[in-house]
Amino acid sequence: MRLREAATHALIIANGVPPPAAFLRRLARDADLVVATDGGALKALRAGVRPHVVLGDMDSLSLDRREALRGVTVVPAPDQEASDLEKAVRYCGSLGATEICLTAAGGGRIDHGLVAYALMLAMAGRMDIRLREPHAEAAAVVGERTIRGAAGDTLSLIAMHPVQRVWLEGVRWPLRGEPLAAGSRGVSNVMEGESARLCVEGGKLIACHLWADDRA
């Protein structure tokens, strides 16, 4: 893959359970910059994706895999105070990325999956980070956001800390400036049309959008 000049939209392929190869290739085609975190490079190669950057020490790659990555930029990541995923997010930000898509970030170690959500919340309002799987997307929201989908899609709002006021329109059970406590009250709402409007004040939350059909 050739790195585009303006890398505003980045894809980070982590070292968790990868999505189907066709889906991963599509995510890569839509990105200006593709970064694989160490072992994530193996998942990328198996899917037919050659990343622009591998962030890590390459210890998990055999010699033939390293040969397949000849010409790919390798960014050493020796800092033990941060995960490879966090280092990859920082690296993409240093190249000007304002939108980051994460994939293969869950399904393995629970702590690594939680780091993805923690990073989304920490960067909310500064960088748009979304976790993508074939039929679902999760993103941290502060302020306003329009979620586009279809009638019947599931939309869950999950607060890790109390949020002062939440407005949600275009769903079966709307919210009208109500507080949302940490817990499960906002889970499993249903979109009634092609979009839902969300506004969050006095806090941050995770919005999870799950497709009701086979579109990815």
Q: Which of 4-8, 90-94, 159-163, 210-214 is predicted least confidently? A: 4-8
Q: Which residues neighbour 152 within 8 Å (Cβ) at sequence distance 6 or greater? A: 190, 191, 212, 213
Q: Report pLDDT digits (tens) over 2-40.
A: 455 557 899 999 988 899 999 999 999 999 999 999 888
Which of 39, 76, 43, 61 lies closest to 27, judged by CA? 43
If one compares 68 and 98, the residue with the highest pLDDT of the two is 98
pLDDT score recorded for residue 59: 60
The CATH class given to the 139-210 domain equals: mainly beta
What's phi and psi for 165, nearest 5 deg? -145, 135
pLDDT, one tens digit per residue, over 160-203 is 999 999 999 999 999 999 999 998 899 999 999 999 999 999 99
According to the model, what pLDDT value does residue 110 have? Answer: 84
Q: Dump pLDDT digits (tens) for 54-87.
A: 987 666 665 566 677 778 888 887 776 778 889 9
The CATH label, of 2.60.40.420, 3.40.462.20, 3.40.50.10240, 3.20.20.10, for the domain at 9-134 is 3.40.50.10240
Q: From CA 88, how far away is CA 15, in angstroms rounded?
A: 12
Segment 42-64 mean pLDDT:
80
Domain-wise residue ranges, the chain? 9-134, 139-210
